[in-house]
Structure 1
């Protein structure tokens, strides 16, 4: 069929949207406030500014304390009877952990064993005083159905009940590096005199854990929780499972020393921007819709929501709509603890994200909005470890977990947000464009992604947040320069954008009382 769906004539073509993804990959990683991130936000300003009728607003400029890694390495020196000396393979650095000088930190290697969150106390670190600690983390396994309630689903060729059951089976037990987002208490390690930490992934292949930028929701290991120039923190690196095993063997001999190097720049009051604007509606009841995402992160899948939003803006600039459509592309998602703001009179939810700062700065906008539509992680194929320990594609596409919640207040028996989204997904598939399977959920109380603050603010939500195993990965082990562009399906991306286009049209036409 034609790449532009016949019923959505103003939506840019699949090839145009894919071209934007290629441009995004060429910008490099977009860690919060980094040069790559600044390039992307400037690109977005130009693109949205060229959309007819789009009112690009002055960006929200936000100061924060920035830490950017420059170089990292690990070396071991030991008795040749125990093992070889030399460079040690590193999976990636531990963001916002600390820093060393160019010569690194050299100290005795002490194996502290397994760190268990909630069970290991600050005394866990004491044996590594004056040393570099080797710490093994248990496999990161979590259920997506334990603290979120599935209420609907779509899967090609399956009825809704079967699709819901398939979603529950698939998401019941997930092993994924993304669940490492809280990290370990490096401040406890620092206070115990530990000079650096080597974190060991467990139960996942080297391909899966390579280049994982994690944790991104942890504080800097000092009293203030933010990096300060001249504060070396407690520098940490990640290594793979097998590397961790032979490091433990070397540590057991008692004579091994390691040199941990992690150079970084710390910038006080660096500035980063939230880009936003509005397409005015033709009139109505004075209410609006908010369409949002974030712009910072390590790869193409993580930040491509803004590209879907650009396609939507180009469509709705030509397609009539009644309500004002606010487009908000927030910064700070990957340094969330410096950007999160409490929402006044918030609806209870466990989910903190960067759009909260924009909401607090512009309460008159979100308080008039009926719903938020959040685009994140579009077009993700499914990857995991196979039985031989290889990191491979394991399915055509990830399940698209989508939070379809009603506006705070009297509960309508008909969940408009749920119905609008599932009908849009079904219509897109009938038109011949794949969307992949989706599972719609309610937070109970976990809400992943940039839709959580909108929910807390009382809005209805249609917020998609797929969680592929490579979501935090700064490119693959074999082709890091692609920044996981190779793991996206351009047909799927366009199908998901079409679904959101149809969803917004339905929400725009609905009466305010239906939300």
Structure 2
């Protein structure tokens, strides 16, 4: 894989920043402050409609390329110079028809294929089903399925938020959170290259405690390179059917007709707006552009809103907007588990201030999954349905000072619940692409809400706009804009001291 870098009247947002400065330093403001010119709801609708039209934007796919080109055009229309990091990678095109299992003359649709596992021709591969039940993280005993098709259990555990997600003072504790199946797959689906080496013809992962409707289209894992062996996933009653067939030694034919292209191409975009006063101090705001649906990923809405503001009123500190590629195929671009780590490694002059040269980043933000609505599973009755509520926001603040800044400025998806999660004390590392900021000792505030359908590719006839509450997304974007304006004038001591010692 290669990379190349090819008073009462408000005329600007500075009035708001001036007001924020009073708040930051504890003074009472008596000056009338006008509401900033944040994007209206009318601005959001065509943006969201485009995402719904494109549907999934898998890394390097035609839809993803179209979307990246669209973002580039949007930034250029504001007069911003757009930089590109161009990557070549092995791109595995999704199967042109749904993967299938033939069992006893019956066609059983798989819930989805395992991304970058392997491909078959139209005939498929045929073999005896062999149970290799392995809920543990260690490698399965693939040798048991030599010349056969292996069947493995996989589970979708929830999270005990009170135990595993620490919060900053003043924030309500977390409750229990449902699992995200594709994220679970990142943990439980591994070593498929060993299966291929040991002569296994194919693999079927049988989900436990997951409904058929939720399992459909779950794009996971998304952190493996091409494995060379076809693998699919099933759930619900189909899982029970496949496990029973394996216990009986039944023969099946597995078909998953993707295609591997060794020279795929994709781009990360980034733009720099130089500060007017503290140009050697940088603020980095990021999101990713590849995704599975209208919410995964829509963080670009916040960055485009910020780009409009930066063009109208340049910042005091240099501000860098980064639109990452590779999130849904992380291993194709980095071995660190987050593609933002690759960008930071490639562009150290923009954040680490080595030897006094270049920029020193004082703050970072990653915006992911705006306005996500909540769906709920009833596994006992195999039902999956929207609750009519918003999914709980997951927002990380890296220092106590930034947690306080967040709590003072955030009026997000659910304004009556303002919760800042402390990434220094969680049992697992922070989710999403904001984590590399911590690895690089850059204080951050990042959003990474995680509904159970986050990595789900929905049926083509499903209207994806119903996955996103646009007014809630606007509240989140407006809140980020307030935070970023406050950050622009914050004294260095106001960011707090970050000492992050964990890593992958």
Same fold flag (TM > 0.5): yes
| Residue deviations 1:410-438 (CA, integer Å, cap 9, x gap) | xxxxx332122111114x69xxx958654
Q: Distance in 2 between matches of 1:461 and 1:139?
A: 29
Deviation at 1:340, TM superposition (A): 2.0
CA offset digits 1:233-279 (Å, max 9, x no partner):
1100111121011122233333x321111122212232210011022
Q: Does 2:387 correspond to 1:394?
A: yes
Instruction: Identify if the C-alpha distance between structure 1 residues 37 and 436 changes in structure 2 by more than 3 Å, giving closer, same or farther.
Output: farther
Alignment partner of 1:239 out of 234, 237, 243: 234
Listed one character per residue, the Cα deviations across residues 428-456 of structure 1 (whole Å, up to 9, x for unaligned) are 69xxx958654422244501111111211
* Corresponding position: 1:115 with 2:134: yes
Show structure 1 runs of 5+ residues with no match.
79-84, 153-159, 222-232, 343-351, 407-414
Choose 86-95 or 67-76, whichever is displaced more. 67-76
Q: Is the 8 Å Cα contact of residues 10 and 314 (structure 1) preserved in structure 2?
A: no
State which of 125, 129, 137 in structure 2 corresponds to 1:105. Answer: 125
SS at match of 2:166: strand
Match of 1:489 among 464, 469, 494: 469
Q: Distance in 1 between matches of 2:51 and 2:36?
A: 25
Instruction: Give the length in aligned residue pairs.
Output: 451
- The one of 93, 108, 123 equivalent to 1:68 is 93
Deviations along 1:260-307, one digit per CA (max 9) or x if unpaired, are 111222122322100110223322262010010111121111110012
The answer as to whether partners of 1:65 and 1:269 remain within 8 angstroms in 2 is yes
Residue among 501, 504, 510 paired with 2:481:
501
Whole-Å Cα distance in 2 between the matches of residues 298 and 449 of structure 1? Answer: 15
With over 3 angstroms needed to count, the CA separation of the structure-2 counterparts of 1:416 and 1:142, relative to structure 1, is same
Whole-angstrom distance in 1 between the partners of 2:47 and 2:401: 32
Query: CA offset at residue 341 of structure 1?
Result: 6.0
Question: Structure 1 stretch 486-495 or stretch 212-221: which is displaced more?
Answer: 212-221
Distance across 2 between alignment mates of 1:385 and 1:189: 32
Partners of 2:175 and 2:48 in 1: CA distance: 32
Distance 1:249 1:179, change over 3 A: closer
Answer whether contact 1:435 1:495 (CA < 8 A) is retained. no
Which of 52, 77, 90 is the aligned partner of 1:50?
A: 77
Q: How far is the alpha carbon of 1:484 from its aligned partner?
A: 3.5
Q: Report whether the alignment pairs 1:142 with 2:122.
A: no
Find the residue that maps to 1:260 and give its secondary structure.
Answer: strand
CA contact (8 A) 1:147 1:446 kept: no
Which residue of the other structure, out of 205, 208, 213, is the alignment partner of 1:202? 208
Mapped partners of 1:398, 1:439: distance in 2:
15
Aligned to 1:311: 305
Larger deviation: 497-506 or 355-364? Answer: 355-364
In 1, the alpha carbon distance for the partners of 2:44 and 2:217 equals: 26
Matches within 5 A, 1:276-295: 276-284=270-278, 286-295=280-289
Distance 1:483-1:375 versus aligned 2 partners, 3 A rule:
farther
* Correspondence for 2:290: 296
Query: Is residue 176 of structure 1 aligned with residue 180 of structure 2?
Result: yes
SS at match of 1:9: coil
Written as runs of structure 1 = structure 2, the 5 A alignment for 1:25-36 is 25-36=52-63
The alignment's TM-score, normalised by the length of structure 1, stands at 0.82
1:360-439 → structure 2 map (5 Å cutoff): 360-367=345-352, 368-386=360-378, 388-394=381-387, 396-406=389-399, 415-426=400-411, 434=415, 438-439=419-420
Residue of structure 2 equivalent to 1:346: none
Deviation track 1:111-156 (CA, whole Å, cap 9, x = no partner) reads 33x322235x44x22332111112221333334455542115xxxx
- Of the structure 1 ranges 176-185 and 433-442, higher mean CA displacement relative to structure 2 is found in 433-442
Question: Structure 1 residues 285, 271: closer, same or farther in 2, change over 3 A?
Answer: closer
Structure 2 partner of 1:512: 492
Tell me what 1:411 maps to: none
Helix, strand or coil: the match of 1:374?
A: strand
Whole-Å separation in 1 of the counterparts to 2:103 and 2:44: 50
1:441 aligns with 2:422: yes
For 2:465 and 2:205, how far apart are their aligned partners in 1?
27
Partner of 1:348: none
Q: Supply the distance in 2 between the matched residues of 1:279 and 1:200 (Cα, whole angstroms).
A: 49
Deviation string for 1:195-244 (max 9, x for gaps)? 001111110111111110111113433xxxxxxxxxxx110011112101
Query: TM-score normalized by structure 2?
Result: 0.84
Q: Which of 339, 342, 355 is residue 340 of structure 2 equivalent to?
A: 355
Q: Tell me how far apart the structure 2 counterparts of residues 262 and 483 of structure 1 sit (CA, whole Å).
A: 26
1:164 to 164, 172, 181: 172
Pair 279,7 (structure 1): closer, same or farther in 2 beyond 3 Å: farther
Matched, 1:456 2:473: no
Q: State whether residues 404 and 441 of structure 1, in contact with CA within 8 Å, keep that contact through their aligned partners in structure 2.
A: yes
Is there any run of 5+ residues in structure 2 with no aligned partner, and where? 1-15, 17-32, 353-359, 496-504
